[in-house]
Amino acid sequence: MFVTKAAVVGAGTMGGEIAQTIAAAGFPVVLKDVEQRFVDQGLDKAREVTRGQLGKQVQRGRMTEEQADEQAGATVETIHGTTDYEGFGDVDFVVEAVPERIDLKRRMFGELDEVTPGHAILASNSSSLSIAEMGHATSRPDKVVGFHYFYPASVMRLIEVVAGEGTTSEETMAATTNFAQSIRKQPIRCREVPGFVVNRVLLSAISELWKVQDEEGLESEDVDKIVSDAGAAPMGPFYLTDLLGLDTVLHVAEHMNEAYGQRFHVSAKLKELVEAGDLGQKTGKGFYDHSG
């Protein structure tokens, strides 16, 4: 199956950038959220990312500022924002990017099953939840697949293509892998296990840092500086958590702890901040102060 039109449900931290990656590859995209202000934020993010990417071409003398602005505008114009399911009747591929709650995702997939054509592939950007469970909320579990981007979606090339246990067909896996390549991403295929591939690796490392912080009372900034100075990662784990959203990271961490036990430690400080409503960059405060 070939994709000629796509849709993204959820215009939050990832949704706007996901829509941008698809539009930048030449595909028309529908971007949906429950309120117009969220849709507008997603479109603004897509415009910002596109203009930033083209700015590098301007610096190299390959295009003018005016050409970059024109091309950025043309890319964003291929993204149609909506607060309902207008435009979903002829899509071939949908990426769900709503918050990491299985009840919410199951409801979204039930709705998508009703408003999209029967051949359409329904994909989830979930980082750890069961693809099969989402698929069972539809009449086409064989066409439900994991399509997990990494933050920031506009920069990171990797996408996990996840087969739901006993549900996703090989035809769906092949078509999804081909679509990932067509939007200039590097897909890796994996089975459905908690955390998939990358988060099992990432969270196992970060949970060790959380454990040391809880035991020794270390400051988040000091841990981040040590990790960054050692060249172990482009940014420290606490700053990364602020960017991803503390509520999202906590949900994944608790899910991994339930699945694998105490080798996946859950940060006490992370729980404390989430309970206080400090969710990172999106609320202005998390492990760091982002109010400026």
Reference 85, options 124, 111, 119; nearest CA is: 111
Distance CA 273, CA 292 (A): 19
Reference 191, options 251, 128, 264; nearest CA is: 128
Q: Among residues 80, 148, 255, 265, which one is catalytic?
A: 148
Residue pair 39/96 in contact (Cβ under 8 Å)? The answer is: no
Phi and psi, residue 131, nearest 5°: -70, -40
Residue pair 147/158 in contact (Cβ under 8 Å)? The answer is: no
* Exposure on the CB side of residue 72, measured as CA atoms within 13 A: 23
Residue pair 19/8 in contact (Cβ under 8 Å)? The answer is: yes
Is residue 80 annotated as a catalytic residue, yes or no? no
Residue with tokens 């390549």: 181
- Tokens representing residue 249 in the block: 């990271």
CA 233 and chain centroid, separation: 19
- Angle at which helices 268-275 and 198-216 pack, to 10 degrees? 90
In SS3 terms, 99-140 reads as: CCCHHHHHHHHHHHHHHCCCCCEEEECCCCCCHHHHHCCCCC
Reference 252, options 107, 129, 106; nearest CA is: 129
The dihedral region occupied by 184, where left means phi > 0, alpha psi between -120 and 50, and beta the remainder, is: left
Residue pair 246/254 in contact (Cβ under 8 Å)? The answer is: no
Q: Is 217 helix (H, G, I), strand (E, B) or coil?
A: coil
Catalytic residues: 148
